[in-house]
C-alpha cells in the first residue's frame, strides 16, 4: 500500500503503485500514474495526464505535468511520460505535449535532471541524459541517449541534440548538435568530439579513431562540398557504428541546420 503523508493531497482517480512514497505537502492530480517505487520527497506537484516510471525520485518544489507554456494550448488531453529510475531535483519543470508536437512529451530512463531544469512541451529525451542546474529546453527539442547539458545551457525549440553529445555550460544552442559532438560558446560552436564520454562508455580505440578521422574530414577541411565529404566518410567507414550514427543524424530532416565549428577551425 502506498505510503502517503497526512499533509499530501492525492485526488481521487490517481493510480499509485503499492510501494510509492508521497512526502509532506505534495499534490497529485486525478489522472496521474506513479509506478512502483516512485518517491516524491515533499512539496512536489504532479498534474495532468502524467505517468512516472518505477523508481523515479522527485525532489521538493518540482512541477511535473502542468499545462505547457504555449499560448496555442487550449486544454487538449496531452500527456507527459517519464521513464524509470530518473532523479528529478528541486524546482524542475516538465510540461506535457501539444497538438503541434504529437500530444506527448517523453523522458527516458535513468536521467539526472538537476535543480531548475526546464523541459518544455513535446520534447523527446533519451535514456541516461544529464541536465545540469538551470539547463533549459524549448519546445519540440530532441535529446539523444547519454547526452550531457551543462548548467544554464539553453536549447532553441526544434533543435536536435545527438546521442553522447556534450553541451558546455552557459551555451545557447540554436542548431542541431551532432552525435558525439562537443559544443561551447555564447552561441554554440562545434569544438570537437566528446572523446572523454566515449572512453568512459567503453567505445573501442578503433571506433574513437574512426570518429576522429571522420570528424576531421567533415569539419576540418575544404575538399569538395559537404555532401561529397559525407559520401567520402561513409565509403571509408561503412561498418563503424558511431560514424554511421553521425552520418544518419546529419542526413535526417531538420528545420534548424547544423552547429558548425568557427570558420577558423576554433
Q: Cα(203)–Cα(248) distance, rounded to whole angstroms?
A: 19
Pick the catalytic residue from 121, 150, 162, 181.
121
221 three-class SS: coil
Pairing label, strands 181-184, 148-149: unpaired
The β-bridge partners of 193 are 181
Are 116 and 133 in contact, with CB atoms under 8 Å apart?
yes
HEC-encoded secondary structure of 185-209: CCECEEEEECHHHHHHCCCCHHHHH
139 among known catalytic residues: yes
Q: Cα(8)–Cα(39) distance, rounded to whole angstroms?
A: 13
121 among known catalytic residues: yes
Residue 182: exposure state from Cβ atoms within 10 A (0-12, 13-18, ≥19)? buried
| Residue pointed to by grid coordinates 518505477 | 54
Pick the catalytic residue from 55, 97, 122, 168.
122
Pairing label, strands 189-193, 181-184: antiparallel
Q: Cα(29)–Cα(66) distance, rounded to whole angstroms?
A: 10
Pick the catalytic residue from 139, 150, 168, 181.
139
Residue 79 CA to chain centroid, in angstroms? Answer: 17
Catalytic site positions = 121-122, 139
Amino acid at each position: 500500500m502506498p505510503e502517503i503523508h497526512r499533509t499530501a493531497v492525492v485526488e481521487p482517480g490517481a493510480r499509485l503503485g503499492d510501494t510509492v512514497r508521497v512526502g509532506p505537502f505534495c499534490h497529485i492530480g486525478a489522472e496521474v500514474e506513479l509506478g512502483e517505487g516512485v518517491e516524491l520527497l515533499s512539496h512536489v506537484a504532479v498534474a495532468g495526464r502524467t505517468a512516472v516510471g518505477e523508481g523515479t525520485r522527485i525532489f521538493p518544489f518540482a512541477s511535473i505535468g502542468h499545462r505547457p507554456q504555449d499560448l496555442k494550448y487550449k486544454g487538449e488531453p496531452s500527456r507527459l511520460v517519464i521513464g524509470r529510475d530518473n532523479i528529478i531535483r528541486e524546482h524542475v519543470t516538465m510540461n506535457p505535449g501539444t497538438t503541434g508536437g504529437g500530444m506527448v512529451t517523453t523522458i527516458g530512463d535513468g536521467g539526472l535532471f538537476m535543480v531548475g531544469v526546464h523541459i518544455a512541451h513535446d520534447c523527446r529525451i533519451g535514456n541516461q541524459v544529464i541536465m545540469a542546474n538551470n539547463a533549459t529546453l524549448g519546445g519540440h527539442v530532441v535529446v539523444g541517449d547519454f547526452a550531457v547539458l551543462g548548467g544554464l545551457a539553453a536549447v532553441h525549440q526544434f533543435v536536435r541534440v545527438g546521442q553522447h553529445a556534450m553541451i558546455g555550460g552557459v551555451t545557447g544552442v540554436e542548431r542541431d548538435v551532432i552525435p558525439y559532438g562537443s559544443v561551447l560558446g555564447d552561441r554554440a560552436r562545434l569544438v570537437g568530439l566528446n572523446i572523454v564520454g566515449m572512453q568512459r562508455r567503453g567505445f573501442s580505440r578503433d571506433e574513437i579513431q574512426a570518429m576522429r578521422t571522420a570528424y576531421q574530414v567533415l569539419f576540418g577541411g575544404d575538399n569538395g562540398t559537404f555532401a561529397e565529404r559525407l559520401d567520402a566518410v561513409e565509403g571509408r567507414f561503412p561498418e563503424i557504428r558511431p560514424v554511421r550514427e553521425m552520418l544518419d543524424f546529419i542526413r535526417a530532416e531538420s528545420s534548424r541546420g547544423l552547429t558548425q565549428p568557427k570558420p577558423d577551425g576554433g
